[in-house]
A = this chain, B = another copy of it.
């Protein structure tokens, strides 16, 4: 077969502060026919995730390198194999590919790829609850927080792709779960669908002191585990309430990602000392060796309806920048995904 004409999104410049759509450009992109050890894929669903903002900082030391301005952006995607020169992959197979996002067609060497079953769950779920965000939630819970039955778990960004799974895994493990999210609709979903014990709409609280008071009331026996997605006043409140022997899984601090000037951290980190508490930063790739264990635990819970999820769906590759920027404006509910192509062609 000859080369394949499609489109791909490039980053024209690294953002300073909140990213704007003008920084992104949709360009024509030609994908050559696959050579030996390669396969041609078409992207069906692509993911936008907060961690991508970190890859837009060329000067930051991280487990993941920054994005190049000279190549299409990349990110998680569910794709369909069109032509394959890789043993084990057939045309028609669906795969999750960690570099397949932000483009319509691409060549894969099958190195950051695994096959997924379209009959087990909707394809887009492999970017959310059965994908990296779900795995992130599971790793934070099982590898860092290790909540015991009866403990109190506080989750910020609780209506997001990661937080919503954290909340539900916490309930399944017998915790009292206190969730924070940024709208009444999100809080209602958390209580009524995800089953959390208390949902705080953080926009009701003007500052850390007010949020702290609300959290202390919701957590009369202190916070044993805190899953941190947000930073700022959320971390301050959690540190105020952290229990003796408490654990904090530091997954992200989305409130800080687009600041042009660094914002000071919490003034009460010292609480970690007297309470013998732990704070552990992590990104999910550290735990990739446990992906099968994650799938074995979470896929049945999803199939049984014990874990629910929400999606914000954007239609068309050209909407990907809007979907990405929406992550930082609290506009998305649950997992934000972009439909790049039809499930079947």
Contacts and interface: CB of A to CB of B under 8 A. Distances in A.
Contacts of A252: 270, 273
Given A244-B63, A264-B264, A265-B265, A281 B286 contact: no
Interface string A65-82: 000000000000000000
Given A252-B273, A272-B280, 5 more contacts: A262-B267, A264-B267, A272-B279, A272-B281, A276-B283
A117 to B, nearest CB: 31
A192 interface: no
A273 B250 contact: yes
19 contacts: A54-B274, A60-B274, A63-B275, A64-B274, A235-B269, A250-B270, A253-B270, A264-B264, A264-B265, A264-B267, A265-B267, A271-B281, A273-B281, A274-B281, A276-B283, A276-B286, A277-B281, A279-B279, A279-B280
A288 to B, nearest CB: 12
Interface string A237-253: 00000001000001111
A62 interface: yes
Contact of A266 (B60, B231, B265, B279): B265
B286 A282 contact: no
Q: How large is the interface on A (under 10, 10 to 19, 20 to 34, 35 or more residues)?
A: 35 or more
Interface in A211-229: 222
A278 interface: yes
